[in-house]
Amino acid sequence: MAALPDAEKLCAQLVRALQGVVGPSTAMVGIHTGGAWVAERLHAALALKFPLGLLDPAFYRDDYAKQGLAKDPKRSKIPFDVEGKDLLLVDDVLYTGRTVRAAMNELFDYGRPASIALVVLAERDGRQLPVCAQHAGARVEVPAGMRLRLRRDAEGRLSLELERAA
């Protein structure tokens, strides 16, 4: 199995890719928890005008009826007016697409953005919804029964790792 890509390098790569698309109406929203870590990096490096938004779409998830309320829902904070913005929605790993669906539903309860582009550190197989990333740091092969997740250590360094799926 190939080694997992370096999350730090992927962040730098995404910054370079996004420099070309950032405009005066661009704003960024990170999805809790891993997406928010990536978004913090990208937001700082791109020096965006609007403060970073954070979203936990726990209340919009489609698995609530099966799984109940997510363990530790965080408070969503969008400190700018979503109306008319070109949003960069940031997550760590794109897998089934269900989190992105939930996040988009929540975003529209804040207002009507001009556009939303999806930015992910890594994408993997297993989409269950017609969702694709406009900017993906890397494509990662994930063995069956495993999941790809982002970690942040005490110094704030990001790394991707595989763990057994629950």
Binding site for other proteins (CB under 8 A): 56, 58-60, 64-65, 67-69, 72-77, 105-106, 109-111
Closest CB to other proteins among residues 57, 97: 57
Closest CB to other proteins among residues 109, 161: 109
Q: Does an H or E element contain 100, and which? A: helix 98-108
Closest CB to other proteins among residues 25, 105: 105
Residue with tokens 């790993």: 93
- Whether residue 28 contacts residue 39, with contact meaning beta carbons closer than 8 Å, is answered with yes
Closest distance between other proteins and the C-beta of residue 128, in Å? 19
Q: Which residues of 65-76 are buried (b: 16+ CB within 10 A; e: fewer)?
A: eeeeeeeeeeeb
Closest distance between other proteins and the C-beta of residue 73, in Å? 4
d(CA 99, CA 104): 9
Closest distance between other proteins and the C-beta of residue 20, in Å? 32
